[in-house]
Amino acid sequence: MVVPESDEPRETVGDVGEFGLIRRVTAGRRQPATTLLGPGDDAAVVAAPDGRVVTTTDVLVEGVHFRMDWSTPEHVGRKAIAVNVSDIAAMGAVPTGLLVGVACPRTTPAEVIEGMVSGMWQEAARAGAGIVGGDVVAAEQIVISVTALGDLEGRAPITRGGALPGDVVAVCGRLGWSAAGLAVLGRGFRSPVSVVGAYRSPEPPYPAGPQAAQAGATSMIDLSDGLLADLAHVATASSVAIDVQTSQVLVHQRLVEVASALGADARHWVLTGGEDHALAATFSDPAAVPQGWAVIGTVRRGGGVTVDGREYEKPPGWQHWR
């Protein structure tokens, strides 16, 4: 567990107690204007100026989505918020509030949970949202559940089902970095820090979602399971075919260097690596693709996802229970 070493016995969550822990992680925190009533009551009240609420939930399980010997508590907390808010952005919405549930063993050091929640508040602030409530319970391992709320600001939601033949496919955010970081950690290394850090706490481009919606995106998705795997969801929902052109997909030199050192394929990381939480969207007018987005492919009639006109021969991304 990546926490400061000390000879002093550490206070556990069992020592602090449920309500003591809640007071510690909520006291003195600033809330955005969208929080009308924050933590402390039976439920929170969050403004919904648009009249509609976009909502999503993700669950992170220790040993599956994070390892405490690979990440600090702050990293884990930031990641828990990022994976949820990126889904809000993928609908073209802005985040307004977050509900956090944490389950952990009684013997968990209180500083670990406090560190996680501190990281959550940091990432929530970066996204412009507040943590408005949640729950803490006992469990045999650490499990984090986050529900994110968002506002469409009067726009229609951008779903996976709107891509049209003739559209271009564009992405915003880093691709392959988290997969590279996971590969590095899996070999027992802790550097390069920039690559390992991308796995520990991804940095989704939150403003890019509403930006794409305003620019006329026809479909959009958060890239959590890998570029090809997630584009397959768009292709299925839209009843279209998508072709990715590798000549247009950026493979950062840092990833090339890491892949060379590990005997891996950097391009495979970029095409299939999950947990970067970049965004992919389709646009009918190539000239409308916003600054910061890169065109990487096209939408055609048919079905499925191809790479340079051919089926990709390796697994296209992450799937649970496989």
* Predicted confidence (pLDDT) per residue in 257-280, tens digit: 999 999 999 999 999 999 999 999
> pLDDT tier at 8 (50, 70, 90 boundaries)?
low
Q: Cα separation of 294 and 299, whole Å?
A: 15
Residues belonging to the binding site for ATP are 134-135, 160, 224
Running DSSP on this structure, what letter comes out for residue 144? E
Question: Which domains does the chain carry?
Answer: 13-151 (3.30.1330.10), 168-307 (3.90.650.10)
Q: What is the mean pLDDT of residues 67-79?
A: 96
Residues belonging to the binding site for substrate are 65, 275, 318
User: What whole-number percentage of the chain has pLDDT above 70?
Assistant: 96
pLDDT tens digits, residue range 145-196? 999 999 999 999 999 999 999 999 999 999 999 999 999 999 999 999 999 9
Tokens of 111: 């500083």
pLDDT at 215 over 90: yes
Find all residues with CB under 8 Å of 107, minimum gap 6, and list them. 12, 14
> pLDDT tier at 318 (50, 70, 90 boundaries)?
low
Residues belonging to the binding site are 42, 56-58, 65, 87, 134-135, 160, 222, 224-225, 275, 318
Residues belonging to the binding site for Mg(2+) are 42, 56-58, 87, 135, 222, 225
C-alpha pair distances (Å), 195 with each of 101, 106, 251, 308: 29, 33, 13, 27
Whether residue 91 contacts residue 169, with contact meaning beta carbons closer than 8 Å, is answered with no
Q: How many residues does the chain have?
A: 322
The structure's pTM equals 0.90
Q: Is the dihedral of CA 203, 56, 143, 125 positive or negative?
A: positive
C-alpha pair distances (Å), 146 with each of 14, 55, 74, 78, 312: 22, 10, 15, 11, 34
